[in-house]
Amino acid sequence: MASSPRPQDPFTGSGPRKDDIESSSEAFEDAPKAAEVLITADMSASSVTSTPRSAWLQVLLSHLININTFGTTLSFGIFQPYYVSTLSLPPSTIAWIGTTQLFLIFALAPLSGRLLDAGYHRPTLLLGLTLQTVSHLSASFTTTHFPTLFLTQGLLMGLGNGLLFCPAVALVASHFSFSPNRTLALSLVASGGGTGGILFPALASSLLPQIGAPWTLRAMAAVMLLIAALTGPFSRPPPLARPAAKQPLLDITALRSPAFALFCAGTFLAFLGLYSGYWFARAYASTLGASQASTFHILLLVNAAGIPGRILPALLADRLGSALGVQIPTVAATGIVFAAWAGVRSMPGFWAWAAVYGFLAGACQALFQASSTAFGGGGARLGVVCAVVSGALIGKGGVMLLGAGMLGRAKWMLGRKTRREGSGDGV
């Protein structure tokens, strides 16, 4: 007698197996990640053809922030001879105010970059803008006392600058992550330093002889307050930005990448002495017999030449698809020009030197920002680069040639890694 077929176990046979249930559960858990990848890919495809106006608005706002940040720092040379004469101190002592501002711009980048990644963009922005304005208001009451002047115009202003610089760059980089105009956008942000380098010296030179340093500093504070009112309400993080998981303030694990570590070392050497021309150009022109008006125009020329210096190399970098590829010869050329400073013995020669130096120094600053963001990692990774270069304030221009060589090696290593991963993105 034929045996009747056994009834199927409801938990076996054609029913869903345990493995199927687990794989379905994993697929369900991974669905948000997959959706995010699809959204990001769709954004990357659309942003290649068109960049939204909101992203270009962030470029304008970050440009304005850099007018306050680098504009005041690079134009400190307008106060240098005034403080030397009124305080009876050597130029090297007065220069501590400007160098402290610059040092803190880079030294605080790990903190401000991490705050941006953690979702604290707006509080960081408002605090930085407030410190900038308060610093000049406070300095206006201490222009005859160097220690308090250093604390206000140097330290307090540097703290405000440091909270603003890295987020301004990283925010624009994230808005233009997939755009072919990424280097141009970042260079337009950097050109704010050139704009401020014309605005603030022109303001100070016209007001200092008439109303003195206290009211000149208050007028500059009013300009900073106006810029803060224009940027604060409208600055926005990218649409998909969200708070990052808790991570250390300085992610030194990024330096385990040989290409990134070499890039940081090369950038440090490239920045040795880069800013000295902004602060000491006026003093050197005086040793050549230039008038007070001529020394002021030298500073204006250096800052004005930096505007096309920040934009034109960026256009070339976007065309070639490699910001680092343009940065390498630019750093090498800047090192040669900087070393040639010692051979300038006349004012006509110094005018020519100032124009070339201003152009190349501006290009170095802009391309550095674009190249740093090419390694990814958001504000935290940019903060690591800035922390490494924060001590590179004054040095020998010839060392910049070694920095150019190290940047070249970093580009080769990063390009090799990119090709292995099958990506066509330029660096």
Q: Is 44 a domain residue? A: no
Q: Is 87 a domain residue? A: yes
Which two structure tokens, joined as six digits, stand for 131? Answer: 């410190």
- Compute and round to an integer the Cα radius of gyration of the chain: 26
Q: pLDDT tens for residues 158-185?
A: 999 999 988 888 888 888 877 788 888 8
The mean per-residue pLDDT over the stretch 50-79 comes to 85
Q: Is 221 a domain residue? A: yes
Note down the domain range covering 281: 53-236+245-420
- Does 411 or 386 have the greater pLDDT score? 386
Task: Evaluate whether 270 touches 331 at the Cβ level (below 8 Å).
Answer: yes
Q: Is 260 a domain residue? A: yes
The mean per-residue pLDDT over the stretch 12-28 comes to 46
Q: Is 45 a domain residue? A: no
Q: Is 17 a domain residue? A: no
Q: Is 222 a domain residue? A: yes
The mean per-residue pLDDT over the stretch 288-306 comes to 89
The mean per-residue pLDDT over the stretch 337-343 comes to 86
Q: Is 16 a domain residue? A: no
CB atoms within 10 A of CB 264: 22
Looking at 288-346, list the stretches that DSSP marks H as alpha helix, in order from N- to C-terminal side: 292-320, 323-339
How many domains does the structure of the chain reveal? 1
Q: Is the pLDDT of residue 103 over 80?
A: yes
Q: Which of 215-224, 237-246, 290-299, 382-391 reaches the highest mean pLDDT?
A: 215-224
Question: Considering the entire predicted model, what is its pTM?
Answer: 0.74
How many angstroms separate the CA atoms of 2 and 393, rounded? 95
> What percentage of the chain exceeds 70 in pLDDT?
72
Q: The domain that contains 318 carries what CATH number?
A: 1.20.1250.20
Return the minimum-mean-pLDDT range out of 69-78, 90-99, 241-250, 366-375. 241-250
Assign 25 a pLDDT band (cuts: 50, 70, 90).
very low
